[in-house]
């Protein structure tokens, strides 16, 4: 717990072991909402949160809570003025993720923390994609609850943590009842090997963070620059500046993301998020930033991590360029665009 706490500037007594960030998010959102429900029935979150945050909010709506789902701007960031306008006298919690799992954008967490603290509303952030990758300090950022995942920082799968602030104290109604482990907030025997693994991963992440970040930034720039120099009509989704560089989401116009994935079988990529990849709906995160449906279907997410090599990046770039060109040559839409036809102007016949 000390190793986890050190990584985020917390006290070890504020760390609760869970089975992962999904459970941590459920605990934080449902736990706070239910504990304060006699006086407060309103929660604020964003439209681009991870599925488990949105689903937790949906389930609270069936219990009579009101949830405001803030839109994001074209760059994927929330508008702080809209956040301020969304507060109600009975708002108990604001939940905004630090780094988005699909497009890598980084929300202004410190500003959000200030706004919430000034209004005495608890602030939760799903930091699964940020912990160990960018510096996080719960006091400096005024975070009251924070979700952490083990396998996102090269720890074991099946373990995570929830940071719960002691001063000002955050009270939760536990989801799981039992023998009262983890200060009664999460009963059940703590899985020692997993907890040890998470602690060790946090310690390594703290030592390597600065080095990793510089390296990943360089590789990410190499990937994006090389692809964009060779291929026209590629759009980078999400803000260029406020982001974590290891998560890159590109849309290749006139190419289906799925077809590109099939062509790049030997490279681990995804279209949309890993969690919703089973459905052919275009990503709700891309829809929220106003991406056209056809471009959303053309998107591919590249993840660059601690163990990614320059050779792997170059191989991926080369294969990507090759297959995008090949797939476009097969596309009648691409042909029409080359002939100067505006696709938006076409009336497709209805059968």
**Catalytic residue set:** 275
List phi, psi (to 5°) of 317.
Answer: -60, -50
Dump the DSSP string for 149-175.
ESGGGTS-TT-EEEEE-TTTTP----S
- Cα separation, 77 vs 143, in Å, equals 18
Q: In what helix (H) or strand (E) does residue 303 lie, and over which residues does it extend?
A: strand 299-303
The 8-class DSSP code of residue 247 comes to: E
Q: Which of 218, 321, 194 is nearest to 263 (CA)?
A: 321
Cα torsion for 228, 233, 236, 240, to the nearest 10°?
A: 70
Q: Are 202 and 150 in contact (CB under 8 A)?
A: no
The pair of structure tokens assigned to 132 is 């160990």
- 28 phi and psi, to 5 degrees? -65, -50
Cα–Cα distance, 87 to 94 (Å, whole number): 9
Question: What is the distance between the alpha carbons of residues 251 and 236, in angstroms, rounded to a whole number?
Answer: 6
Angstrom distances, CA of residue 321 to CA of 69, 87, 227, 262 = 38, 47, 6, 14
């Amino acid at each position: 717990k000390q190793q986890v706490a050190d990584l985020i500037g917390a006290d070890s007594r504020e760390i609760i072991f869970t089975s992962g960030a999904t459970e941590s998010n459920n605990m934080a959102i449902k736990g706070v909402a239910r504990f304060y429900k006699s006086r407060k029935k309103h929660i604020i979150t964003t439209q681009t949160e991870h599925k488990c945050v949105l689903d937790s909010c949906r389930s609270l709506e069936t219990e009579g809570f009101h949830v405001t789902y803030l839109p994001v701007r074209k760059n994927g960031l929330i508008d702080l003025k809209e956040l301020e306008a969304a507060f109600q006298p009975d708002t108990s919690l604001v939940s905004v993720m630090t780094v988005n799992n699909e497009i890598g954008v980084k929300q202004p967490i410190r500003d959000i923390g200030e706004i919430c603290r000034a209004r005495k509303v608890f602030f939760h952030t799903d930091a699964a994609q940020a912990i160990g990758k960018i510096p996080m300090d719960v006091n400096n950022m005024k975070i009251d609850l924070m979700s952490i995942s083990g396998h996102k920082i090269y720890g074991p799968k099946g373990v995570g943590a929830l940071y719960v602030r002691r001063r000002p104290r955050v009270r939760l109604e536990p989801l799981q009842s039992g023998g009262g482990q983890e200060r009664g907030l999460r009963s059940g025997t703590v899985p020692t090997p997993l907890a040890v693994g998470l602690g060790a991963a946090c310690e390594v992440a703290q030592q390597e963070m600065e080095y990793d970040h510089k390296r990943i930034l360089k590789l990410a720039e190499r990937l994006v620059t090389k692809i964009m120099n060779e291929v026209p009509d590629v759009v980078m989704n999400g803000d260029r500046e406020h982001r974590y560089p290891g998560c890159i989401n590109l849309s290749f116009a006139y190419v289906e993301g799925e077809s590109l994935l099939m062509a790049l079988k030997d490279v681990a990529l995804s279209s949309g998020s890993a969690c919703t990849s089973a459905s052919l709906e275009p990503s709700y995160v891309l829809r929220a930033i106003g991406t056209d449906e056809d471009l959303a279907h053309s998107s591919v997410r590249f993840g660059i991590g601690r163990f990614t090599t320059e050779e792997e990046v170059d191989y991926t770039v080369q294969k990507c360029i090759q297959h995008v060109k090949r797939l476009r040559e097969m596309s009648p839409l691409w042909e029409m665009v080359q002939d100067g036809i505006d696709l938006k102007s076409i009336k497709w016949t209805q059968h």
